[in-house]
Amino acid sequence: MVSGFRLRRRRGTGWGPGSLILAALALAGCGRAEQFPQTVFDPAGPVARIQLDLLMRTLYLVIGIFILVAGVLLYVVFRYRERPGAGDPEQIHGNTQLEMAWTIAPIVALAFIAVPTVRANFAVAEPPPESDPLVVRAVGHQWWFEFQYPDLGVITANELHIPVGRPVKLLLDSEDVIHSFWVPRLAGKTDMIPGYQNTMWIQADEPGTYYGQCAELCGASHAKMRFRVIAVSEEEFQAWVERMQTYTVDVSSSALAARGMELFREKGCFACHAIAGTEFQNRVGPDLTGVGSRTTIAAGTLANTRENLSRWLADPPAIKPGSKMPNLGLKPDEIEALVEFLHSLK
């Protein structure tokens, strides 16, 4: 007999209706941003929406074609299966009508996909022509992100501040290997290639924090190369820009923070880190201007608490394998002073 019938009678495979319901519930959960901050199924801006819309259109069309083709195939397999006593079927060669049909049908199907694809490609390539985009140069480093605002003279790291409702044009570069810029709720990924500048744009509809992640395997700590996009109102954004542009460091009120600032020089931190409003202006590692206000440290790896900052300073490669910030052999009292200093940089 046909083995399909035997399969249907088999019992106890464990894939009953219960597991189907569970799978459906699990899939439904994928869409929720509160649970999965890096979901593409809950777009928060026009670029991500255009991309999801294209994905769903294509998916529905393809599901329709699959059901049609699989249906015809199953029908033919059962309707024309070999029966005892039946002779050979009629032998034919070529069928112009059929051949025309299966040439034209795919062309029509591809046209249905091609037109919206080309339209979406243009829409996500550049911000709308009349808009006044904010320009940000995003630079990938092993394993953190640098954000430069060339028109504003502001540089920051790992947290990209943007105003809501305004397109942000991103100039993507890399300092070392190929990285990829990806904020799933705002836009699909685009590679950051050394020596070649890619561009993309994003826009957030609502204030909020959007999670980003490097999406191109780039070395030992690739998985710990994350960032956040912090979208705020235009007024709050202007206030942040002004604070960054006029940044000053004042440690006169705390002896411990003042000691931390001294250690920043003595221990050579300044060789890699810049802080606006000071003489520290080297940018091998993340710019630390306002680091006390960041939500995370080490590119989204740890929450920015005193305890975590101490752990980071004590042994960076233990937290991020291969970290380009070496273990500087700091003593506990030195770490304490440095943490006090860094957290005073609001």
Per CB under 5 A, residues contacting Cu ion are 179, 214, 218, 225
- By CB under 6 A, the residues from 267 to 286 that bind ligand HEC are 267-269, 271-273, 284-286
Site string for ligand HEC, 202-241 (x = CB under 6 A): -------------------x--------------------
d(CA 2, CA 85) in angstroms, rounded, equals 17
Which has the closest alpha carbon to 140: 170, 162, 168, 161? 170
Choose between 43 and 290: whose C-beta lies nearer to ligand HEC.
Answer: 290
Element (H, E) at 54: helix 46-79
Q: Using the rule CB under 6 A, is 320 a contact of ligand HEC?
A: yes
Q: Using the rule CB under 6 A, is 291 a contact of ligand HEC?
A: yes
- By CB under 6 A, the residues from 23 to 52 that bind ligand HEC are none
Give the count of residues interacting with ligand HEC (CB under 6 A): 31
By CB under 6 A, which span of 48-56, 100-108, 183-191, 265-273 interacts with ligand HEC? 265-273
Q: Using the rule CB under 6 A, is 313 a contact of ligand HEC?
A: yes
8 Å CB contact between 48 and 31: no
- By CB under 6 A, the residues from 150 to 209 that bind ligand HEC are 157-158
Amino acid identity for residue 222 in this structure: H
List the one residue from 193, 324, 336, 343 that touches ligand HEC (CB under 6 A): 324
Residue 228 partner contact from ligand HEC, Cu ion, none using kind-dependent CB cut-offs of 5 to 8 Å: none
Closest contact distance (angstroms) between CB of 145 and ligand HEC is 9
The DSSP string of 202-250 is: E--SSSEEEEEEE-S--STTGGG-EEEEEEE-HHHHHHHHHHHHT----
Closest contact distance (angstroms) between CB of 216 and ligand HEC is 16
Instruction: Please tell me whether the peptide bond between 143 and the residue prior to it is cis, using omega within 30 degrees of 0.
Output: yes
By CB under 6 A, which span of 77-85, 107-115, 210-218, 289-297 interacts with ligand HEC? 289-297
Residue 214 partner contact from ligand HEC, Cu ion, none using kind-dependent CB cut-offs of 5 to 8 Å: Cu ion
Closest contact distance (angstroms) between CB of 322 and Cu ion is 12
Residue 203 partner contact from Cu ion, ligand HEC, none using kind-dependent CB cut-offs of 5 to 8 Å: none
d(CA 162, CA 145) in angstroms, rounded, equals 15
8 Å CB contact between 232 and 311: no
Choose between 218 and 335: whose C-beta lies nearer to Cu ion.
Answer: 218
> Within a 10 A sphere around the Cβ of 270, how many other Cβ atoms?
18
Write the CA distances from 36 to 43, 97, 118, integer angstroms. 12, 50, 30
d(CA 121, CA 108) in angstroms, rounded, equals 20
Closest contact distance (angstroms) between CB of 213 and Cu ion is 9
Can you give the length of the chain in residues? 346
Strands 208-214 and 296-297: unpaired
List the one residue from 134, 139, 299, 337 that touches ligand HEC (CB under 6 A): 299
Beta sheet of 187-192, edge-to-edge order: 159-163, 226-232, 208-214, 179-183, 187-192
Choose between 46 and 224: whose C-beta lies nearer to ligand HEC.
Answer: 224
8 Å CB contact between 303 and 332: no
Give me the residues that bind ligand HEC (CB under 6 A), please: 143-144, 157-158, 221, 264, 267-269, 271-273, 284-286, 288, 291, 294, 297-299, 313, 320, 323-326, 328, 330, 338, 342
